Amino acid sequence: MAWELFLWLLAFAAAISLIGFSAYQLICLSDLEFDYINPYDLSSRINAVVVPEFMVQGTLCILFLLTWHWFPFLLMAPITYYHTKLYMKRKHLIDVTEIFRLLNEEKKYRIIKLAFYCSIFIIVIYRLVTTAVLLLMEDDYRTMESGIF
């Protein structure tokens, strides 16, 4: 049972990082929209975090599969497939020359991903708390059963 608590702590850290990656990309796109940043800097900043985001999300999905947590895995599998498809087609990076034409689409895409990652975060927090409470209750039961108190 302690390994499951470690799994949810790891998933918690991964969900926080995914939310951070998406929020950072959305802030950069908003900065471009308000002309605080130039397109070259924007594309270099976002392209630097796209592959780590894909890797964290894919690792989390594989981790849920290997630990037989089907509900979170089935939630994350479609976006993992979509990220893999984007990466294989080499369409995961932002092009400097076309960013102004695709700005609204990119912002909507990042907002949807941020909402998805927030829902995953809520599920992970719920499972983390329930696992921790069950683990504490199990330890209390063992302590009472051993006659220490």
The DSSP symbol for 69 reads -
Collapsed DSSP state (helix, strand, coil) of residue 68:
coil
How many folded domains does the chain comprise?
1
Confidence grade of residue 64 (pLDDT, cut at 50, 70, 90):
very high
Average pLDDT of span 80-103: 94
HSE, CB side, 13 Å, CA atoms: give it for residue 139. 8
Tokens of 41: 């800097």
Task: Give the chain's mean pLDDT.
Answer: 92
What's this model's pTM, rounded to 2 decimal places? 0.90
Q: Identify the pLDDT of residue 125.
A: 97
Q: Identify the pLDDT of residue 2.
A: 82
Q: Identify the pLDDT of residue 143.
A: 64
Average pLDDT of span 59-67: 96
Owning domain of residue 124:
2-146
Q: Identify the pLDDT of residue 144.
A: 61
Average pLDDT of span 18-45: 95
